[in-house]
């Protein structure tokens, strides 16, 4: 249900913006989703179809912009990218990691008519 709630707030943001700009229809929505956000494009797409029904955003195309998961080692300060959720750790062998990016989830922009 977490994804449903988040998708709902995204739809709210989009509709608010569309209304503010006097748009009749939302053509497309660009979403930024981090690899660590736990969100699956298919689920967002599914919930969106359900939530946007009978609103100006109905039928809008969703464009997903995926942000790779990047972490920094707290020991050697090395920054590296997590590959396929591989938590085997940095070259120095420490496992004290700080997430720098990949948890994002937001509406980047919308196209209106
Ligand atoms: Zn390290």
84 three-state secondary structure = coil
Measured in angstroms, how far is the CA atom of residue 112 from the centroid of ligand 1?
46
Query: Who wins on pLDDT, 78 or 95?
Result: 78
The percentage of the chain sitting over the pLDDT mark of 70, rounded to a whole number, equals 92
Tell me the average pLDDT across 52-61: 97
Residues 6+ apart with CB under 8 A from 27: 60, 61, 110, 111, 112, 113
Measured in angstroms, how far is the CA atom of residue 80 from the centroid of ligand 1?
10
Measured in angstroms, how far is the CA atom of residue 79 from the centroid of ligand 1?
9
Tell me the average pLDDT across 3-14: 93
């Amino acid at each position: 249900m977490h994804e449903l709630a988040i998708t709902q707030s995204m739809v709210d943001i989009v509709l608010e913006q569309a209304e503010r700009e006097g748009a009749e229809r939302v053509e497309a929505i660009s979403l930024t989703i981090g690899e660590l956000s736990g969100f699956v494009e298919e689920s967002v797409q599914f919930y969106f179809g359900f939530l946007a029904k009978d609103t100006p955003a109905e039928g809008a195309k969703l464009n997903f912009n995926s942000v790779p998961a990047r972490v920094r080692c707290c020991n050697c300060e090395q920054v590296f990218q997590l590959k396929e959720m591989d938590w085997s750790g940095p070259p120095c062998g420490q496992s004290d990691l700080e997430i720098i990016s990949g948890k994002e989830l937001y509406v980047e922009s919308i196209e209106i008519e």
